[in-house]
């Protein structure tokens, strides 16, 4: 039987149409009208494309024609991650423009077949669209493009339960490596500081953060393949972990666990770049260009990078990282006798713990615990704390070289490690309160996290391999 005009069917056979409409509604769950429908997915897709260009949320919202509060809500509720695919839908589905054309032609009392010819669709498609997605708030069916688009989007949703919700074993593995306790080498737990309650802020500034194992989602996802090589159920992508942390309502991981990420951000945002401070004590024979070529390609172990992380009250912790294994040593720099008691003396000795004399002593004590073959060079920034580098080189046999001013990329391993350490030692906190044992525990946690650059081995595992190769007789390192 030929498809009749929908408006004509409404008047000629209201009972039949009503029964058909009720049958269609019975196949779908009840939908509660939210008031004014949200902008179409096409608008949201364009919004996230604008965000991807790097502009602000307000600028992206105005560019696609929605209010700034709406754009901000989209961004925050999605954790800065696009919740929908940015690819254009296939021609299988009616677009919003086609629904607008249907609404206009239907308002002009055009028949179903005529509308189908105009938009290039099957008459059955148009008939189902008019029947299923019409507005019904006034007690009668009226077809509006915006309401039809919203109904179609609601009916097309296929909510999928997150993998971390259904797989308890996988969830416990992820939770333990993301938020697990920091332990000393003997296994005892280091409680760390007592942080303030998490209030949902994007990033905690200048306050204590809870110490945790703090593996990154990518480290967790890749390590699963090593720990469970034959268990396909123990697999998850790092993006799925990020979504569980960032997107509201996922339900698998508590959103407070974003504080266990290295950056502590609750939204996905670009990272800020840091700059080094210049130094004026570097001579021509210790600039980076004079460093041995073997240190550049990381093939030979024993070349280190170093720097300080600074806290309040002239407190600091020294960090040195081996370029080949990425193994980290934290140098304890306690304040010297008389700190806070003697008045400040201009050009007098530094009592904060990282003056030239104190720095040389602490750094020498730390690096001389290594075999001589594993302490060849040390690359530092231009800070004056290592102005006694000549004496340090004589005492330890480790030649010191200095990076160029404002060039943190010349010490990439150390800069990356300092970023990781800020999770345990945030800016704006007193770093002198931590003992050498506490620093050893943090270094132990850092050295036992798998690294992508090490093929998901840990720095401790690679460093142990280096030590074994040195102990084998007749084995020489190659450049």
Query: pLDDT at position 278, please?
Result: 39
Helix (H, G, I), strand (E, B) or coil at 283: coil
Continuous segment of H or E residues that includes residue 378: strand 377-380
Continuous segment of H or E residues that includes residue 309: strand 303-310
Mean pLDDT across the chain, nearest whole number?
A: 80
Residue 389 and residue 382 in contact, taking contact as beta carbons nearer than 8 Å: no
pLDDT digits (tens, 9 = 90+) for 163-197: 888 888 998 899 888 888 888 888 899 888 888 77
Q: What is the pTM of this model?
A: 0.51
Continuous segment of H or E residues that includes residue 114: helix 112-119
Query: pLDDT at position 305, please?
Result: 93
Residue 325 and residue 454 in contact, taking contact as beta carbons nearer than 8 Å: yes
* pLDDT above 60 for 368: yes
Q: Are strands 377-380 and 399-402 parallel, antiparallel or unpaired?
A: parallel
Q: How many CB atoms lie within 10 A of CB 360?
A: 20
- The helix, strand and coil proportions of the chain, stated in percent and rounded to the nearest 5, come to 45, 5, 50
Q: Which of 95-104, 207-216, 428-437 has the highest mean pLDDT?
A: 428-437
pLDDT digits (tens, 9 = 90+) for 111-128: 889 888 888 888 888 888
- If you search the block for the tokens 């840091």, which residue do you land on? 274
Query: pLDDT at position 306, please?
Result: 92
Mean pLDDT of 296-323: 90
DSSP output for 390-426? HHHHHHH-PEEEEPPTT-GGGSHHHHHHHHHHTTTS-
Report residue 439 as tokens.
């620093």
Query: pLDDT at position 179, please?
Result: 86
pLDDT digits (tens, 9 = 90+) for 136-149: 776 677 888 888 87
- 283/401: higher pLDDT: 401
Mean pLDDT of 433-442: 93
What percent of the chain has a predicted confidence (pLDDT) above 90?
Answer: 21
* pLDDT above 60 for 267: yes
pLDDT digits (tens, 9 = 90+) for 467-477: 888 777 655 44
Report residue 369 as tokens.
């615990």
Burial of residue 176, with CB atoms counted within 10 A of its CB: 0-12 exposed, 13-18 middle, 19 or more buried: middle
**How confident is residue 479, by pLDDT bands cut at 50, 70 and 90?**
very low
Mean pLDDT of 299-328: 91
């Amino acid at each position: 039987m030929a498809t009749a005009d929908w408006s004509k069917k409404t008047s000629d056979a209201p009972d039949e149409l009503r029964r058909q409409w009720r049958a269609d509604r019975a196949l779908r769950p009840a939908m509660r009208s939210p008031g004014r429908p949200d902008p179409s997915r096409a608008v949201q897709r364009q919004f996230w494309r604008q965000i991807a260009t790097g502009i602000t949320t307000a600028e992206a919202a105005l560019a696609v024609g929605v209010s700034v509060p709406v754009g901000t809500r989209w961004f925050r509720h999605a954790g800065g991650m696009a919740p929908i695919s940015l690819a254009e839908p296939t021609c299988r589905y009616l677009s919003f423009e086609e629904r607008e054309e249907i609404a206009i032609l239907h308002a002009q009392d055009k028949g179903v077949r005529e509308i189908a010819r105009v938009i290039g669709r099957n008459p059955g498609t148009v008939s189902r669209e008019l029947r299923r997605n019409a507005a019904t708030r006034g007690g009668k069916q009226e077809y509006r493009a915006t309401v039809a688009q919203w109904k179609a989007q609601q009916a097309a949703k296929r909510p999928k339960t997150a993998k971390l919700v259904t797989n308890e074993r996988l969830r416990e593995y992820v939770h333990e490596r993301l938020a697990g306790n920091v332990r000393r080498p003997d296994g005892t737990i280091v409680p760390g500081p007592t942080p303030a309650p998490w209030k949902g802020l994007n990033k905690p500034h200048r306050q204590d953060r809870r110490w945790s194992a703090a593996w990154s989602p990518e480290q967790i996802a890749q390590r699963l393949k090593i720990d469970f090589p034959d268990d396909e159920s123990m697999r998850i992508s790092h993006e799925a972990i990020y979504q569980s942390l960032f997107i509201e309502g996922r339900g698998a991981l508590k959103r407070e666990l974003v504080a266990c990420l290295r950056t502590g951000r609750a939204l996905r945002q670009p990272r800020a770049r840091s700059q080094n401070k210049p130094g004026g004590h570097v001579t021509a024979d210790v600039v980076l260009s004079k460093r041995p070529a073997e240190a550049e390609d990381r093939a030979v172990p024993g070349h280190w990078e170093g720097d300080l992380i600074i806290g309040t009250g002239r407190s600091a912790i020294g960090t040195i990282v081996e370029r080949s294994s990425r193994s980290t040593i934290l140098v304890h720099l306690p304040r010297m006798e008389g700190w806070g008691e003697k008045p400040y003396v201009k050009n007098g000795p530094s009592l904060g713990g990282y003056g030239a004399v104190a720095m040389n002593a602490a750094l020498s004590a730390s690096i001389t615990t290594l075999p001589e073959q594993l302490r060849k060079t040390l690359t530092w920034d231009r800070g004056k704390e290592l102005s006694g580098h000549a004496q340090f080189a004589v005492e330890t046999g480790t030649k010191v070289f200095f990076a160029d001013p404002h060039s943190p990329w010349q010490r990439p391993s150390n800069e990356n490690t300092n970023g990781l350490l800020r999770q345990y030692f945030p800016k704006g906190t007193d770093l002198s309160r931590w003992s050498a044992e506490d620093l050893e525990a943090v270094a132990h946690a850092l050295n036992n996290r798998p690294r992508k650059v090490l093929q998901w081995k840990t720095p401790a595992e690679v460093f142990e391999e280096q030590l074994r190769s040195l102990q084998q007789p007749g084995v020489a390192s190659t450049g």
